[in-house]
């Protein structure tokens, strides 16, 4: 085994204002027994006790050239990795681990051009994400927020006008039949729902095996569904994909759920649909701009459930994610390539291979 030193730097948004871990278990114990690996944090990306505006900047934090120069591996939670991060090159940095599935905030081309491999945790949040969508669907169907307010406000007289829905026989429309979309079908199957999906790359055979009917267009899916749930990834083809016109096609009794990415949706169009009762309601964990401003129109609407891009962030999912990320870093520190590389072209670049070779054990003498 090589003894070449390897520093792993976690982004500072894992820390609280006191400098301690804000998330208790990020699998740092996985590095025990690997003395060549040093774990640190990019502390200038962490909150400080007197920084009242930190939460407003949380989702706009960025990796800088100084960060790139500080470690062999960087674990990214929320910050962006833009081309500007490589303004001074990346002679030292070998790998970036994205602690989650989404890679829309990482410039993969810039990483590849600078001989930096990127890997993610594509499946560790699959159940947590799908079950969050199912939770929102069930809460909306049962009108849970209104039911709770009735008790808190002593308005039991509102019982007759606050009646929810049952799921059997209703139609669930899923946009994106990837991992979390498929998991949602598994969760919904025992509830006797009709399940549709719009997913251009999905196999009809696989869909049929899942009990899902593929539809040819988003228009068809939105018009036919009692619940529409987004599970597609954010990229250039899906940004702004869902527009006011889609909400206009929905039934006035239907609900919209988004646990994917806020930028997939025209949020102003969604606000109009909710305010003017084109649809019955929505459940949202993600937004066009995050954190969602306190004065955003969504906040004042009574027919929407809002959660802070955190609903799938369970302790179980976090442990799975961070274990995979730590093990990937350990692998690179020992000259191995993580299994979940998302910019595979980097593996053919001499510059990356030379970096990795610094950590590849030498053949034992004969």
CA nearest 274: which of 241, 293, 296, 290?
A: 296
pLDDT at 94: 98
- The reported pLDDT for the residue numbered 45 is 98
Higher-confidence residue: 366 or 298?
A: 298
pLDDT, residue 3, reads: 78
**Can you give the pTM of this predicted structure?**
0.93
Q: Where are the alpha helices (DSSP H) in 45-200?
A: 54-57, 65-68, 108-113, 126-141, 144-152, 179-188
pLDDT of residue 1 exceeding 50, the answer is no
User: Which fold does the domain 126-306 belong to in CATH?
Assistant: Rossmann fold (3.40.50)
pLDDT of 28 above 80: yes
Q: Give SS3 for 173.
A: strand
Token pair, residue 365, equals 């003498």
pLDDT at 236 exceeding the cut of 90: yes
Among this protein's residues, is 309 annotated catalytic?
yes
pLDDT tens-digit map of 273-286: 999 999 999 999 99
| 365 has pLDDT over 50 | no
| Catalytic position from the list 288, 290, 319, 349 | 290
Summarize pLDDT for 74-125 with one digit per residue, the tens: 999 999 999 999 999 999 999 999 999 999 999 999 999 999 999 999 999 9
- pLDDT for 363 equals 58
pLDDT at 16: 97
Closest CA to 326 of 95, 21, 1: 95
Q: Could you confirm whether domain 6-124+314-357 is CATH 3.40.50.720?
A: yes
Average pLDDT over residues 290-310: 97
In this chain, the answer to whether the domains covering 6-124+314-357 and 126-306 adopt an identical fold is yes
pLDDT band at 56 (very low <50, low <70, confident <90, very high): very high
pLDDT at 2 over 70: no
**C-alpha span between 7 and 12 (Å, rounded):** 15
Percent helix / strand / coil, the chain, rounded to 5: 40, 15, 45
Of residues 67, 143, 231, 261, which has the active-site annotation?
261
**Mean pLDDT within 60-74:** 98
Indicate if the pLDDT at residue 23 is higher than 50: yes
Q: Residues 6 or more apart from 253 whose CB is under 8 A from it? A: 165, 226, 280
Per-residue pLDDT band for 366 (boundaries 50, 70, 90) equals very low
Categorize the per-residue pLDDT at 210 as very low, low, confident or very high, splitting at 50, 70 and 90: very high
| Domain ranges (residues) in the chain | 6-124+314-357, 126-306
Residue 362 pLDDT: 72
């Amino acid at each position: 085994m090589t003894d070449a030193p390897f520093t792993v730097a976690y982004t500072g948004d894992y820390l609280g204002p006191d400098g301690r871990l804000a998330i208790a278990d990020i699998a740092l114990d996985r590095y025990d027994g690997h003395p060549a690996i040093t774990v640190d944090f990019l502390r200038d990306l962490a909150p400080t006790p007197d920084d009242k505006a930190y939460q407003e900047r949380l989702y706009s934090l960025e990796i800088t050239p100084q960060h790139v120069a500080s470690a062999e591996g960087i674990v990214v939670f929320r910050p962006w990795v833009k081309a500007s991060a490589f303004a001074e090159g990346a002679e030292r940095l070998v790998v970036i681990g994205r602690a989650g599935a989404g890679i829309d905030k990482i410039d993969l081309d810039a990483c590849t051009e600078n001989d930096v491999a990127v890997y993610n945790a594509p499946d560790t949040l699959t159940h947590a994400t799908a079950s969050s969508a199912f939770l929102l669907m069930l809460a909306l169907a049962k009108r849970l927020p209104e039911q709770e307010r009735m008790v808190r406000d002593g308005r039991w007289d509102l019982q007759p006008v606050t009646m929810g829905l049952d799921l059997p026989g209703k139609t669930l429309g899923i946009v994106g039949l990837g991992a979390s979309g498929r998991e949602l079908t598994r969760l919904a199957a025992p509830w006797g729902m009709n399940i549709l999906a719009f997913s251009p790359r999905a196999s009809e055979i696989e869909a049929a095996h899942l009990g899902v009917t593929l539809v040819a267009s988003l228009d068809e899916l939105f018009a036919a569904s009692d619940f529409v749930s987004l599970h597609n990834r954010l990229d250039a083809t899906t940004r702004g994909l869902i527009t006011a016109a889609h909400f206009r096609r929905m039934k006035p009794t239907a609900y919209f759920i988004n646990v994917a990415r806020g930028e997939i949706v025209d949020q102003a169009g969604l606000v109009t649909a909710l305010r003017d009762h084109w649809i019955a309601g929505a459940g949202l964990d993600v937004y066009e701009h995050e954190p969602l401003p306190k004065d955003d129109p969504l906040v004042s609407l009574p027919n929407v459930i809002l959660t802070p891009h955190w609903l799938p962030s369970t302790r179980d999912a976090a442990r799975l994610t961070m274990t995979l990320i730590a093990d990937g870093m350990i692998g690179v520190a020992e000259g191995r390539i993580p299994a979940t590389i998302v910019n595979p072209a980097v593996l053919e670049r001499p510059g990356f291979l030379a970096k990795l070779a610094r950590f590849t054990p030498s053949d034992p003498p004969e």
